[in-house]
Amino acid sequence: MLSDEQILTALKQGDEHAFVQLVERHQGLMLRVALRYVRTRAVAEEVVQETWVGVLHGLDRFEGRAALKTWIFRILTNRAISRAEREGRVIPFSSLGDDDEPAVDPDRFRPEGAQWAGGWKTFPPSWDTLPEERLLARETLSLIGEAISELPDRQHLVILMRDVEGWSADEVCEALAISEANQRVLLHRARSKVRRSLESYLEPEAALT
Amino acid sequence: MSSERTITCQELTEVVTDYLEGVMGAEERARFDAHLELCEGCVNYVSQMRQTIRAVGELDPAEVEATVPDDVLAAFRAWRRGDPIPKA
């Protein structure tokens, strides 16, 4: 598979195959991002299409200082935001704090005023003793996939980009137009929730303590 | 150097991402490490987080919509010819 940089070179030479590859690579995630801002799938699809047109318009001037994908997603985010504004929608990424659930159920810790307040009542066990196949089994992964899809929108996107797609923190901030701190909080909540789902699957008894 | 307040297990679970992302200040990082020295539960917790991240990384990237919309392809062909790009 070509890297985004190789695609960029081919693209500037008018290589349709490279363009198709680029669209196929990013389209799914682009649609998800667009859906965070606009109401319907049809509108989101329009926003994605507009984005590709915008990419073609800007391609000659694109200097490659940002990664190609980051640049594309930034165009997408800008289009989606202005579309959402026209629809009279509040921009979901602009505010934080819709959910600040703790990473771990507070009941797992000794209560305030007790000796060792804030310490584990029972230590979480090590998962190192689990067979490798267990953690990465198809069934485990599909459970993780489910847990991710149930996350609130912004957490969902950030963990997808960071941990599934392997983007850097900077790339995600730039693509989604969010601050570093914001990105990190979303990532933290997302990862913490996925860990909890894994825990109740791998060691069901822990959920009962 | 050890006179600063320590962090509790509960607090550790809230800053573990800062730790793993490498964005902690030196002092906070030292407190975090000092806690790990003494607390097996938190060592396990951090390790569970790392394993969670690794497992998430094993998922298939966003299932791709395999087809490129015709309008998008038409736009590309127009662009390549140097024609005005039709509005999406």
Query: What average pLDDT does the segment B61-82 reach?
Result: 78
Name the CA dihedral angle for A21, A59, A165, A138, rounded to a multiple of 10 degrees: -20
Q: Which two tokens stand for residue A25?
A: 């690579």
- Region of poorest pLDDT, from B12-26, B27-41, B49-63: B49-63
Chain B CA closest to residue A144: B56
Do residues B75 and A50 lie in contact, with contact meaning Cβ atoms separated by under 8 Å? no
Chain A CA closest to residue B74: A53
**Residue A59 burial class via C-beta count within 10 angstroms: exposed 0-12, middle 13-18, buried 19 and up:** middle
Chain B CA closest to residue A194: B52
- Domain map of chain A by residue range? 4-91, 96-208
Chain B CA closest to residue A148: B56
Chain A interface test: which of B76, B77, B83, B87 (most A C-beta within 10 Å):
B76
Do residues A60 and B79 lie in contact, with contact meaning Cβ atoms separated by under 8 Å? no
Phi-psi region of A14 (alpha: psi -120 to 50; beta: other; left: phi over 0): left
Interface pTM (ipTM) of the complex?
Answer: 0.84
Answer whether B74 touches A (CB < 8 Å): no
User: Does position B1 have pLDDT exceeding 50, yes or no?
Assistant: no
Q: How far apart are CA A74 and CA A160, in angstroms?
A: 17
- Closest Cα in chain B, distance from residue A87 (Å): 18
Chain B 20-59, residues with CB within 8 Å of chain A CB atoms: 21, 23, 39-45, 47-49, 51-59
Same fold, A4-91 and A96-208: no
Q: Is the dihedral of CA A48, A52, A57, A61 positive or negative?
A: positive
Query: What average pLDDT does the segment A168-177 reach?
Result: 92
- Closest Cα in chain B, distance from residue A114 (Å): 13
**Residue of B47, B54, B59 with shortest CB distance to A128:** B47
Query: Between chains, do A117 and B8 touch, taking CB under 8 Å as contact?
Result: yes
Query: Between chains, do A184 and B18 touch, taking CB under 8 Å as contact?
Result: yes
DSSP letters spanning A156-201: HHHHIIIIIS---HHHHHHHHT--HHHHHHHHHHHHHHHHHHHHHH
Q: How far apart are CA A146 and CA B77, in angstroms?
A: 39
pLDDT value for A196:
96
Query: Between chains, do A49 and B66 touch, taking CB under 8 Å as contact?
Result: no
DSSP letters spanning A19-50: HHHHHHHHHHHHHHHHHTTSS-HHHHHHHHHH
User: Does position B87 have pLDDT exceeding 80, yes or no?
Assistant: no
Chain A CA closest to residue B16: A188
From chain A, pick out residues whose CB is under 8 angstroms from the CB of B76.
Answer: 16, 19, 52, 56
Query: Between chains, do A124 and B87 touch, taking CB under 8 Å as contact?
Result: no
Q: How far apart are CA B80 and CA A18, in angstroms?
A: 13
What is the CATH topology of the domain spanning A4-91?
Answer: Rna Polymerase Sigma Factor; Chain: A (1.10.1740)
User: What's A96-208's CATH class?
Assistant: mainly alpha
In tens, the pLDDT along B45-59 reads: 999 999 999 999 999
In tens, the pLDDT along A113-159 reads: 988 999 999 999 999 888 878 888 999 999 999 999 889 888 989 99
User: Does position B30 have pLDDT exceeding 90, yes or no?
Assistant: yes
What distances in angstroms separate CA A17 from CA A11, A76, B71, B80, one per listed residue? Answer: 9, 22, 16, 12
In tens, the pLDDT along A18-59 reads: 999 899 889 888 998 898 888 899 999 999 999 999 999 999
Count Cβ–Cβ pairs < 8 Å, chain A vs chain B.
155
Q: Is the pTM of this model over 0.95?
A: no
Instruction: Please give the single-letter amino acid code of residue A168.
Output: S
**Residue of B44, B71, B85 with shortest CB distance to A126:** B44
